[in-house]
Chain A
Amino acid sequence: GPKVLQIPSHQIIDMGQMVTLNCDPVSNHLYFYWYKQILGQQMEFLVNFYNGKVMEKSKLFKDQFSVERPDGSYFTLKIQPTALEDSAVYFCASSLKLGVSAETLYFGSGTRLTVL
């Protein structure tokens, strides 16, 4: 089936550094999402993105976070600067349509971010 690829699978950085998480969504999809999962806990919505713009973001999407998809390349989540509480697994997802009620969301396998 359709695949969402996330690179890298694991990233370790020092607190205060910048990190960029990369997502290669399903090729014809137009809507993109980031979710955060702290170990053993539920998946928390961060942000969704369409046509170059953030459509909706949660309280977890702090000012230090930003997303973009320049020229149809990777959909990225950048954190600058990172904090200890940013340690989590970040999942990217994509869908063809908005209104996720209309179809499934496809998820990547996650990037485990460890902030030291």
Chain B
Amino acid sequence: GDQVEQSPSALSLHEGTDSALRCNFTTTMRSVQWFRQNSRGSLISLFYLASGTKENGRLKSAFDSKERRYSTLHIRDAQLEDSGTYFCAAASFSKLVFGQGTSLSVVP
């Protein structure tokens, strides 16, 4: 079936640094959604993209519009409150297929 491969599985960043998370899809996907799951387990939707890029504050996401087989999430100037697990989810026709998640820890 459709697979979403997310990397890295875990990441530790110092405050103020930048990094990027990536999702690869085994097949062409129509769109991608990025989430952060906080320590209480709540899913917070960060971005929905059908193409191109979107930016919100220190977060920016891109979806490869040409082949539609990968997406990235860039974190700029990481802050302690960015810690959590980040999931990408790609849309097949009738459902979202989630990646395995990236556990992000931002340290002082």
Within the complex, the shortest CB–CB distance from B3 to chain A, in Å, comes to 11
A109 part of interface (Cβ distance < 8 Å): yes
- Contact partner of B45 (CB less than 8 A), chosen from A89, A101, A107, is A107
**CB of B96 within 8 A of chain A?**
yes
Given A42-B100, A109-B41, check contact A56 B94 (CB 8 Å): yes
**One of A43-51, A66-74, A78-86 contacting the partner:** A43-51
Cβ-closest chain A residue relative to B35: A107
Cβ–Cβ contact A100 & B96, under 8 A: yes
By a CB distance below 8 angstroms, the chain A residues around B50 are 101-102
- Whole-angstrom CA separation of A109 from B40 in the bound complex: 9
A104 to B91, CA, bound (A): 10
Which of chain B's residues has its CB closest to A103's CB? B48
Interface size class of B (residues with CB under 8 A): 20 to 34
The answer for the CA separation of A60 and B91 in the assembled complex, in Å, is 19
In whole angstroms, what is the CA distance A43 to B41 when docked? 11
Residues of A within 8 A of B41 (CB): 89, 109-110, 112
- A55 in contact (CB, < 8 A): yes
Q: Let me know if B87 and A104 touch, CB within 8 A.
A: no
Q: Which residues of B contact A98 (CB under 8 A)?
A: 93-94
Are A99 and B98 in contact, with the CB atoms below 8 A?
A: no
Bound CA–CA A105/B82 (angstroms): 22
Interface residues of A (CB under 8 A from B): 33, 35, 41-45, 48, 55-56, 89, 91, 93, 98-107, 109-110, 112
16 further A-B contacts with Cβ under 8 Å, apart from A42-B87, A100-B95, A109-B41, are A33-B95, A35-B98, A42-B98, A45-B96, A55-B94, A56-B95, A100-B31, A100-B92, A101-B31, A104-B33, A104-B45, A105-B89, A105-B96, A107-B43, A109-B40, A112-B41
Between A and B, 12 residue pairs with Cβ closer than 8 Å are A42-B101, A44-B98, A89-B41, A99-B30, A100-B31, A101-B91, A105-B33, A105-B89, A105-B96, A107-B45, A110-B42, A110-B43
